[in-house]
Structure 1
Amino acid sequence: MVLQYQVPDMSCDHCVRVITQAVTQAVPGAAVQVDLANHRVTVTGTEDNPTVEGAIRGAGYTPTRG
């Protein structure tokens, strides 16, 4: 399963590290890919959208599916 999110308030390498760490801690074994230029986060290896979205929100960002 592939989950994709737009995260418009992600703007730097620090944001990438924080989001990646939050998602991998919430969903061990998930792979996180971040396209900073397009503000897109792709998570593979889980179908648990509420946990992934909650991890990104908990890190201080505003994800939307897409």
Structure 2
Amino acid sequence: MTKLIDIKDRGKKLANFQVLRTSTMPAVLTECGFIDNAVDTAKIKNKCFYRKLGKKSCER
């Protein structure tokens, strides 16, 4: 995923997140950028970024 969206891999973290702990199905939590990082913020504001996350083409 990090190669697909060209974002820094910050590694795996272990934590007791409620969203994962209380889920009734298998779940994975991903963070695809951070708003306190200017480069990530610019990507997050781009619709193409989300299309790449969903593996859809950005071309029309």
Q: Which structure features the higher share of strand residues? A: 1
Rg comparison, structure with higher value: 2
Q: Determine if the TM-score, normalized by the shorter chain, exceeds 0.5.
A: no
Which structure has more relative contact order (CA 8 Å, sep 6+)? It is 1
TM-score (norm 1): 0.29
